[in-house]
Amino acid sequence: MKTLITTCIAVVGLNCSALAQVVMVNFSSTNSTSPSAPGAEWNNITNFTTATSDVALIDYTTGLDTGFSLSITDSFKDIGGQSFAAYGNFTSQSLSSYFYGDSADPNAAIEITGLDPNTKYTFDLVAARDTTTNRTTEYTLTGDSVTIVTNAAGTPFSTANIATASAISPDATGKITIDIKVASDSSSSFFYLNAMQITAIPEPSTYALAVGALGLGMVMLLKRRK
């Protein structure tokens, strides 16, 4: 199989891992970073201010540089913490820490650059706080302009704490901006960002190319064995 995958890449110049490219980001304090392990590689952002600039992002599965970068262009107020169990791809550490803002610092913003303008991306944004009050965070994403909200309240953690923006296109420069603030229907003055998952959505032609490359690789492998 290793020979086959290597042949796929050599024949068509295709990075096969791009078919399922996922980036996981933990917004955390330095004592709540998500551990990385083979097949589960995390990006940990520990500075909530604009000092976070052009941080290179690695792929969750391979640990390789994606070419994407993250910058905070409008600072959060501070970092907070709590305790949540892991959920899906999200580690306990990523859910148990968060960047936040409030009425004294009512906006924050993040830029993701280095994206492919011809690829669409899905963003899963987590707002989770161990509280029973309505604390709704609003995220506006551009390239495409889409606004999504999620309520941070909830114990235990659930999908209600995840806001999903599907099939978002970067602008012509490969940038997506995420503006973050308190939603208009929130009963509190707080907004949150615990973690983020970015998933690339390959074009159908990419799948076709991969299938064709694997088929060609299989033929070459069989010929070598004869």
Q: What pLDDT, in 10s, does the model give residues 49-70?
A: 999 999 999 999 999 999 999 9
Distance of CA 69 to CAs 53, 176, 177, 180, 226, Å?
A: 8, 11, 12, 18, 47
- Whether the per-residue pLDDT at 163 is higher than 90: the answer is yes
The answer to whether the pTM exceeds 0.75 is yes
Q: What is the pLDDT of residues 164-173, one digit of tens each?
A: 999 999 999 9
At residue 210, the pLDDT reads 45
DSSP letters spanning 93-123: HHHSEEEEE-TTS-EEEEEEES--TTSEEEE
Which H or E element spans position 223? helix 204-225
| Domains, the chain | 20-202 (2.60.120.260)
At residue 11, the pLDDT reads 35
pLDDT band at 127 (very low <50, low <70, confident <90, very high): very high
pLDDT band at 222 (very low <50, low <70, confident <90, very high): low
Mean pLDDT of the residues in the chain: 84
At residue 207, the pLDDT reads 45
Question: CA gyration radius for the chain?
Answer: 19
Sign of dihedral through CA atoms 154, 90, 173, 8? negative
Which single residue is written with the structure tokens 């114990």? 155
pLDDT band at 213 (very low <50, low <70, confident <90, very high): very low
At residue 147, the pLDDT reads 84
* Percent of the chain's residues with pLDDT above 90: 61
Tokens (6 digits) for 59: 């792929």
